[in-house]
Amino acid sequence: MSKLTELIEHLCVLDGVSSFEEPVRTFLQTQAAPYADEMRVDLMGNLIVFKRGRTRTGNKLLLAAHMDEVGLIIKKITDEGYLKFSAVGGIDRRVLLGKPVRVGENALPGVIGLKAYHLVSAEEEKSVPKLEEFYIDIGAKDREEAERLVQPGDWAAFASVPERFGDGFLKAKALDDRIGCAVMLELLKEDLPLDVTFAFTVQEEVGTRGAFAAAFSVTPDMALVLETTTAADLAGAPAHKQVCSPGKGPVIVFMDGGSAADRGLYEMAREAARTNGIPWQTKHYLAGGNDAAAIQRTKSGVRTLALSAAVRYLHAPASVASLRDLDDMLRLTRLFLGAVAKEG
């Protein structure tokens, strides 16, 4: 098992729901500090790390990956002691029933509940329950007991343990985007060919908010966003809607729902993959978006490219990625930095 895989697994155990990223940020700070020339946390909570490389170039390069994950936020406690919640980020309601969660800073154990199945009408069976119908059960006997443990505004994260399985796959929560964070941490440990600013951003899942602030302060000339993207390579999905596939290499994104790649950077990444024997793919269905959308539009504009890992079941209690893709993503990013250094 590679050091990158171990790092991803460790990161995925941590809880960092959007705007509650402190546990992840603290770990990232500890890991980055020995290798950073400069490090700061901005007012949004982004961790921005600068590392000097072997050469100075005319291009100011930013690498970005978001540290936050989708989750839930408590909005009300019922008389019976159940927690009503809203989603933080885009979550498929179909996956919620019966899932274990950790609530708040004390990681209070809970489980997501719903009306008992024997009470569901024939008509209700045909539709997905509304978010308002779910609740979190923390085992409290009434509101008073629950309020001693939880308050409205507390977050809840899916509780799952990373596990390697099958033919070289990893399942875990928060692969989006602890994969990108791990790749950046590994690169920080290396002798880089040029100066690089690393932005571990916050609040991507609720509107790429942290990335806009980070890019506005860094003011890069170009940026590489290290991300994940939904795969949808499943039986029954129409071929034209199957975005990409885990195991076929990193995804070099020419366009998605939020941004279009800088053409020169896109070709640079493709050429690096081709000439070095790294398998790669692109998105066959233009969907989704990430921090690239915010970074690209910052100030007078930024040349931007997104490089993603193909992941099944994004924003679920357990997502799936290919271990081989993760190592290739690190290799390709390293080669991309070398290509940018040569371009000057």
Q: Which domains does the chain have, with CATH numbers?
A: 3-69+173-343 (3.40.630.10), 71-158 (2.40.30.40)
Residue 188 has pLDDT above 80, yes or no: yes
Residue 181 has pLDDT above 90, yes or no: yes
Omega prior to 142 cis, within 30 of 0:
no
- Mean pLDDT for all residues in the chain: 93
Segment 192-199 shows an average pLDDT of 97
- The single residue of 9, 69, 204, 227 carrying the catalytic annotation is 204
Is the Cβ–Cβ distance between 97 and 114 less than 8 Å?
yes
pTM metric for this prediction: 0.94
Segment 202-230 shows an average pLDDT of 96
Q: What is the pLDDT of residues 33-89, one digit of tens each?
A: 999 999 999 999 999 999 999 988 878 999 999 999 999 999 999 999 999 999 999
Whole-angstrom distance, CA of residue 212 vs CA of residue 294: 5
Residue type, position 21, single letter = E
Q: What is the pLDDT of residues 267-314, one digit of tens each?
A: 999 999 999 999 999 877 777 789 999 999 999 999 999 999 999 999
Q: How far is CA 53 from CA 29, 61, 190, 197, 341, in A?
A: 20, 11, 9, 10, 9
Strand partners, 62: 197, 223
Which residues lie closer than 8 Å to 22 by C-beta, 6 or more apart? 16, 45
Whole-angstrom distance, CA of residue 344 vs CA of residue 341: 5
Place of tokens 């050469």: 55
Whole-angstrom distance, CA of residue 243 vs CA of residue 284: 5
Q: Is 124 a catalytic residue?
A: no
Segment 159-167 shows an average pLDDT of 95
Whole-angstrom distance, CA of residue 2 vs CA of residue 238: 35
Task: Read off the DSSP letter of residue 62.
Answer: E
Q: What is the pLDDT of residue 341?
A: 94
Q: What is the pLDDT of residue 125?
A: 78
Residue 319 has pLDDT above 70, yes or no: yes
Q: What is the pLDDT of residue 57?
A: 80
Q: What is the pLDDT of residue 236?
A: 65
Whole-angstrom distance, CA of residue 317 vs CA of residue 324: 22
